[in-house]
A and B are shown apart, each in its own frame.
Chain A
């Protein structure tokens, strides 16, 4: 198990390889469909994402209206591929060093990871409780008007378990598995 600790650096993520299991401790910012679209359209980000990690996640968060504190009830990853049109440019323009999500991303993001020093970390889809337990605190929320699943939640995590599936050197586990499965499918199609 590799430990990746805040503050994150491009140098640290460049050492990571596809298949490695990592435990992330430090800051994460959630961001999904609405955030990616807004940033891509040029909206000014309310918080700096330089050397930060974005987590594709729409958590279930309950607010205690009296103490104005938040509790995370569930926080697993959402499917990342929907952000593929935007992710590479956002990595370039905002200096992200990590993306956490599920299902992987495409060639544009893979290239941006290589060009700018960023890694895609896969969290286990649906593991909303295991992952919520690793969230130590909800420190802030931005763009709250987008609704809880779509807002930017600033979180502190401890030993958040992920697997590197796209590294900063052009390697992608998703590409490998897809190519192999397509080969097997083609064999079926030829036989029938």
Chain B
């Protein structure tokens, strides 16, 4: 390390005129700002790409709306109404202009305001994703901790095999199994479908959320569990833990105060990845439970070639991806002071 080139951390500007640059003193904030700026550029690029991709599909919204009953007359009338005969640049410009004013346009399929119709569905999905993310992560992290602490014990073996089995099952199998066990065949504890009536909040009817959240939690838990277990085992085998044991510290203190914080950064990354997976993969669960979320809305919008709705949903998803990535990296950086210092 070329010590001569840079002043040691913490020494106030003795050898430089203005001291450490701002980005060194606030590494997390600096990273967040840079990533936010890049995120905005990403969103813009995504919107253009998706717009072009939708145009490449055969047919357009007028065909999709009229379906089987499209006659040339009605098609022309509807295309004119929906501005589908304007140039691509004009259509995109029209849309982006609205977005910059906060107006996401009206759906080509039904003429309602996109944000009014789809906004609640995004909220519905967000509730599922966060509930499943939190519950699944907490449960899996705790299980990983215990499995690592009692390595090769019965709990470790049972949970490892269980995690492997669940990983092998596709999401819809888990979902159907959950419905069969808890709703229809074995027990009749919860509703078999989770139709949130339009205009009501998903949290006002918690029994409808139980089975979808259970399905999603079960789906993401194995990855978090395995990462936590592996990271904990590595932490428990390190020198400083050996030192702490020799010093005579209690097992619990070693686990929670010394090993756990060091195991967290990779687990945070995995949790972040799983949240992103949930956002994209939620569509299967939404179909099984007929849950009015964004996954089903996006599939329907693509099928309908409903460009404003597709753009809105894709932008929201992309923004979610960017945000989760930023937050995950910030948390991981915060959880490992060594990396912060090295920047």
**Bound pair: A and B?**
no
